Structure 1
Amino acid sequence: MHVLVVHNRYASAQPSGENNVVDQEVALLREAGHRVGAFERRSDDIGALSLLAKAALPLRVPWNPAVRAELAARLRAERPDVVHVHNVFPLLSPAVLAACADAGVPAVATLHNYTQVCPPGTLQRDGRPCTECVGATPLPAVRHGCYRGSRLATVPLAVSLSVNRRRWWSGVERFFCISTAQRDVLVRSGMPAERLAVKHNFVPDPGSCRAGAGEHLLYLGRLAEAKGVRLLMAAWDELAAAGGVGVPLVIAGTGPLEREVTAWAAGRDDVRYVGLYDPDQCRGAIARAVAVVAPSTWLEAFGLVVVEAMAAGVPAVAAGHGAFVELVEDGVTGVLHRPGEASSLATGIRRIAGDPVLGREMGRAARLRYERGFSPAIGLERLVEGYRTAIAVRAGGGDSAPPTGNDKGWLAAGHPREQEWGQ
């Protein structure tokens, strides 16, 4: 099969689970013998634009005619079987869908977040879940300045969502949702259910599992309010006041709360802030963890770090909402805590860290869950199946979607889009 992947890569200065997912899928397809090309833009390149080009950038967020012409010409020249669209913000725009229509090539799209129904894609405002724009116009997002706290910066996203809603729905043969929780939200918003299939992101097998009980608790991800960083600090302070849990907390990542985290961790022997890890360091830190902590306050569309932990035989302590409730079986492969409650998070951490036998049992169960639902073999099967369905639909072979909602059917599970326009 010949596949062309369309993706606006996030800035390299910050970790991006979405970039990783795209790269891993491309490598997986190529290893299986498929021909895969890439049509990309990079947010890193924004800094090198002229002042005039930067000023014009918001106008091209809803529609970039130059991208449409360039992509359509490439599609006509190469004639791929299918186009796989990932992120189009801010340099590509939904004009890529018009290019696919111009060239008569079917398109599939992975929905890594909630940008189809929420301009910033987070379903969160002021640190709390928000669905005010779901199934409605995105005017509330503009009023509240939901993107980067700026009404002006939110306008291009809101305009794009409004004017391109129907184009997405009609121009994509199959949407890949990365969790059932995400699909449920999108169906309730009015998106065509028959085009929404659940395909979990896969995770490469790290090649070895955790040995022993682990030596630290690990937070690995963006240092942002939505990721529950402040909640984790409050929970850890509560644990420390009660005597600790016997192992340190390691925090790896960068983001807007980096200074706050650095100041909080300074001078403590029970916390280590290590900055941004490279992929090998991430795998090593996970493999040495008692548990991975994922306390997100927003409704995660997936939760890649939880599945990476599963692959290494490591349980998770995660917020009991969003996609985490289908990734983590409470008390079996990890622990779910009450969202937004520091005391509940502290209790979950204490439960695993204080019982090494339970931690090892959960780790073995987590690894089994990974093998059955998130391995590369499963990922390849679901990906190619989705492509073939899209090709058949475009060719007039019907529009019946495979079943969704359980691991035995059409399942296969991202990170929310990181905010990086203007970097």
Structure 2
Amino acid sequence: MHVLVVHNRYSSAQPSGENRVVDQEVALLRGAGHRVGLFERRSDTIAARSLPGKVAVPLLVPWNPAVRRELAARLRAERPDVVHVHNVFPLLSPSVLAACAAAGVPAVATLHNYAQVCPPGTLQRDGRPCAECVGRSPLPAVRHGCYRGSRLATVPPAVSLAVNRRRWWSGVERFFCISAAQRDVLVGAGLPAERLVVKHNFVPDPGACRTDGGEHVLYLGRLAEAKGVRLLMAAWDALAADGGVGVPLVVAGTGPLEREVADWAAGRDDVRYVGLYDPEQCRRAVARSVAVVAPSTWLEAFGLVVVEAMAAGVPVVAAGHGAFVELVEDGVTGLLHRPGEAASLASCLRRITAGADRNREMGTAARRRYEQGFSPAVGLERLVEEYRSVIAGRSGGAEGAPPVTNGNAGSPGGTRAGRNWGQ
């Protein structure tokens, strides 16, 4: 097949799981012999623009006519079998869908977050779950300044969501949800259920699994409120006051809470803040972990770090909501704590570090779960199957696309995820 991947790359100043997923899918498809082209913009280029150019960026978020023309010309010249859209914010815009429609090329889209129903894409406000804009006008997001804490910055994504809602619905023939939990939310918001299928992200095999009991608990990710960093700090302090768990906490990453985390860790023997790790350092740190902790307070649409831990045979302690409830089998491949509760997180961390034999059993089960559901072989099979289904089923545009079923969409994990979100 000939696939054209459309993606606005996030800034390189912050690690991006989405960028990594796109790169890995492209490499996987090419390795299998498919022809894959890239149509990209990079957020890094914004800083080098002139002042008028920077001012113009927000105006192009809802619609970028130059991008539409450029993509349309490329589609006419190359005639790919399918266009795979990932992120279009802020430099591409949903105008890419109009280009695909005009060229008669079917488009699929991976939904990496909740941007189709929530301007910042997080379903969170002030550290708590929020669905005020879901299925409704995005004006509350502007009123609360949900994107980067700014009302002005929230206007462009809110306008884009409002004016392009129907374009997304009619211009995409298959939406790839990266978890059943995410699909539940989007179906509830009114997105066309027959075009929403679950296609979990895959994770490359790290090449080595944990060989002993591990030497630390690891937090690996963005240092932000939504990722549960402050919750983890409170839970770890409670554990330390009660004698600790016998291994240190290693915190790796960067973000808005970096200074706060560094100050918190300074002078402590039970906490090490190591800054931003490169990919190889991340793999080594995961493989040496007693457990990886993912205490997000927002509803994660997937959770790459969870699956990366499972790939290395390491159990996970994760918040019991969002996608985590379908990735982690509580008590089998890891432990789920009550979302937002430091005492529950502390209890799970103590349990997972207390029994070496049970920990190893969970690590073995986690590796088995990875092999069955999240390996490159499984990822390639599901991706190519969906492409072929879209290409074969196309008959006069997205409105003619046949209903699609997916075994994961009705999984028990999806049901639990939806129920947790509703709470």
TM range (shorter): over 0.9
Q: Deviations over 1:115-142 (max 9, x none)?
A: 0000000000000000000010101001
Q: Give yes or no for the alignment of 1:29 onto 2:29.
A: yes
The residue aligned with 1:261 is 261
Q: Distance in 2 between matches of 1:296 and 1:155?
A: 26
Q: Distance in 2 between matches of 1:370 and 1:408?
A: 17
Q: Distance in 1 between matches of 2:329 and 2:10?
A: 31
Q: Distance in 1 between matches of 2:134 and 2:263?
A: 37
Indicate how the Cα distance of structure 1 residues 166 and 404 shifts in structure 2: closer, same or farther if over 3 A, else same: farther
Q: CA RMSD in A?
A: 1.4
The residue aligned with 1:164 is 164
Q: Give yes or no for the alignment of 1:226 onto 2:226.
A: yes
Q: Distance in 2 between matches of 1:123 and 1:175?
A: 19
Offset at residue 208 of structure 1 (A): 1.4
Cα contact 1:173–1:393 (8 A) shared by 2? no
Offset at residue 395 of structure 1 (A): 3.6
Cα contact 1:248–1:269 (8 A) shared by 2? yes
Q: Which amino acid aligns with 1:210?
A: R
Q: Which amino acid aligns with 2:37?
A: G
Cα contact 1:373–1:407 (8 A) shared by 2? no
For normalisation by structure 1, the TM-score amounts to 0.95
Offset at residue 207 of structure 1 (A): 1.2
Q: Give yes or no for the alignment of 1:174 onto 2:177.
A: no
Find the residue that maps to 1:256 and give its secondary structure. coil
Q: Distance in 1 between matches of 2:305 and 2:246?
A: 23
Cα contact 2:94–2:164 (8 A) shared by 1? yes
The residue aligned with 2:247 is 247
- Normalized per residue, which structure has more helix? 2
Offset at residue 400 of structure 1 (A): 2.5
The residue aligned with 2:352 is 352
Q: Distance in 2 between matches of 1:348 and 1:375?
A: 27
Find the residue that maps to 1:90 and give its secondary structure. coil
Q: Distance in 2 between matches of 1:23 and 1:196?
A: 23
Offset at residue 407 of structure 1 (A): 9.7
Indicate how the Cα distance of structure 1 residues 408 and 301 shifts in structure 2: closer, same or farther if over 3 A, else same: closer
Cα contact 1:392–1:398 (8 A) shared by 2? no
Q: Deviations over 1:41-62 (max 9, x none)?
A: 0011110010001111111000
Offset at residue 394 of structure 1 (A): 2.0
Q: Deviations over 1:150-184 (max 9, x none)?
A: 11110111000000000000000100000000000
Q: Distance in 2 between matches of 1:395 and 1:49?
A: 42
Cα contact 2:216–2:247 (8 A) shared by 1? yes
Q: Distance in 1 between matches of 2:206 and 2:57?
A: 40
Q: Which amino acid aligns with 1:140?
A: P
Q: Distance in 2 between matches of 1:406 and 1:353?
A: 34
The residue aligned with 2:402 is 399
Cα contact 2:173–2:401 (8 A) shared by 1? no
Q: Give yes or no for the alignment of 1:286 onto 2:286.
A: yes
The residue aligned with 2:114 is 114
Cα contact 1:179–1:200 (8 A) shared by 2? yes
Offset at residue 393 of structure 1 (A): 2.8
Q: Distance in 2 between matches of 1:31 and 1:292?
A: 30
Q: Give yes or no for the alignment of 1:149 onto 2:149.
A: yes
Q: Deviations over 1:386-423 (max 9, x none)?
A: 111221232468512032336999x9xxxxxxxxxxxx
Q: Which amino acid aligns with 1:270?
A: D
Q: Distance in 1 between matches of 2:116 and 2:403?
A: 22
Q: Deviations over 1:203-223 (max 9, x none)?
A: 001111101110000000000
Q: Distance in 2 between matches of 1:151 and 1:278?
A: 34
Q: Give yes or no for the alignment of 1:199 onto 2:194.
A: no
Find the residue that maps to 2:407 and give its secondary structure. coil
Q: Which amino acid aligns with 1:35?
A: R
Find the residue that maps to 1:405 and give its secondary structure. helix
Gaps of 5+ in 1: 412-423
Q: Which amino acid aligns with 1:220?
A: L
Indicate how the Cα distance of structure 1 residues 213 and 407 shifts in structure 2: closer, same or farther if over 3 A, else same: farther
Comparing 196-205 with 389-398, greater Cα deviation is found at 389-398
Offset at residue 85 of structure 1 (A): 0.3
Find the residue that maps to 1:336 and give its secondary structure. strand
Please list, as runs of the form range in 1=range in 2, the aligned pairs for 1:305-384 lying within 5 A after superposition.
Answer: 305-384=305-384
Find the residue that maps to 1:19 and give its secondary structure. helix
Q: Distance in 2 between matches of 1:190 and 1:330?
A: 31
Indicate how the Cα distance of structure 1 residues 224 and 369 shifts in structure 2: closer, same or farther if over 3 A, else same: same
Cα contact 1:251–1:272 (8 A) shared by 2? yes
Name the count of aligned residue pairs.
Answer: 410
The residue aligned with 2:11 is 11
The residue aligned with 2:60 is 60
Q: Deviations over 1:19-77 (max 9, x none)?
A: 00000000000000000010000011110010001111111000000000000100110
The residue aligned with 2:49 is 49
For normalisation by structure 2, the TM-score amounts to 0.95
Find the residue that maps to 2:75 and give its secondary structure. helix
Q: Which amino acid aligns with 1:351?
A: R
Q: Distance in 2 between matches of 1:276 and 1:376?
A: 26
Cα contact 1:316–1:334 (8 A) shared by 2? yes
The residue aligned with 1:418 is none
Q: Distance in 2 between matches of 1:243 and 1:14?
A: 35
Q: Distance in 2 between matches of 1:44 and 1:252?
A: 23
Q: Which amino acid aligns with 2:78?
A: E
Q: Distance in 2 between matches of 1:291 and 1:297?
A: 19
The residue aligned with 2:126 is 126
Cα contact 1:300–1:323 (8 A) shared by 2? yes
Find the residue that maps to 1:273 and give its secondary structure. strand
Indicate how the Cα distance of structure 1 residues 406 and 329 shifts in structure 2: closer, same or farther if over 3 A, else same: farther
Q: Which amino acid aligns with 2:49?
A: L
Find the residue that maps to 2:4 and give its secondary structure. strand
Calculate percent identity across the aligned residue pairs: 82
